[in-house]
Structure 1
Amino acid sequence: MNPQFKKGILELCVLVIVKQKDQYGYELAQNLTEKIAIAEGSLYPLLRRLTKEEYLSTYMAKSTEGPPRKYYRVTEAGERYMNNLIEDWQSFQTNVSQLIKEAME
């Protein structure tokens, strides 16, 4: 997949996945890479930014496999932002699909 496509939609994907279930960084990276190949180096700066912008909050939880883990949770503001991104994505996707369809006729 084109790297620019991934970069543009990664924020929405992170919010959608974390909305389904609070996740720690490595878990989130694994869940994302099942659908979209990403570099972990691009995920953590995004998580820091979304936390700073108060779209995500964090908390520490014990782990059975080592030190406590930092979990990410979508905030109310993050849910509103995510819903706006979903609307934007759906409109964008519809318009691009229409352009492609017209070009292929």
Structure 2
Amino acid sequence: MSTKSLNGASITAIVLSILKRGDSYGYEIISQVRELSGGDVEWTAGSLYPVLHRMKTNGWIRDYWHEPDGERRRRYYTITPAGEKALDAERRKWMTFHHVLTALWEPT
């Protein structure tokens, strides 16, 4: 699987997990992913914003505008109860993959 395919497969779980920790805006989400991956995962706005739009359409997140003191206005995203359920399903799916790979990669 290419890195691009893996990014596409994991982006929902990652974004919902970040929003579960607290509201965030697009550039901040991209920066958090870069930092958490040690720079190995580089998302662009062009890959993130369509996913955020889909999540909003699904009712998993909602957005609002916020202008912190002295800063420019930003669109923030927050997870909804439906998004928390979607995150639970994603977590179960990825944990299953993790257990399978761990079992396969253990020395015999």
Equivalenced residues, count: 102
Q: Take 1:40 and 1:33, find their aligned partners in 2: how far apart are those partners?
A: 13
Structure 1 unaligned regions, length at least 5 = none
- TM-score between the two structures when normalised by the length of structure 2: 0.85
1:97, CA displacement in angstroms?
2.0
The CA RMSD measured in Å over matched residues stands at 1.6
Which one of 38, 43, 48 corresponds to residue 43 of structure 1?
Answer: 48
| Percent of paired sites with the same residue | 28
Which of structure 1's runs of 4+ aligned residues deviate more than 6 A?
none
Per-residue CA deviations over 1:51-98 (Å, capped at 9, x if unaligned) read 1101000111113222x2111000000001101110111011111222
1:3, CA displacement in angstroms?
2.4
- TM-score between the two structures when normalised by the length of structure 1: 0.87
State yes or no: 1:19 paired with 2:25.
no
Q: Greater strand percent: which structure?
A: 1
State yes or no: 1:31 paired with 2:20.
no
Structure 1 residue matching 2:67: 3-state secondary structure:
strand
Structure 2 unaligned regions, length at least 5 = none
Q: Take 2:30 and 2:21, find their aligned partners in 1: how far apart are those partners?
A: 15
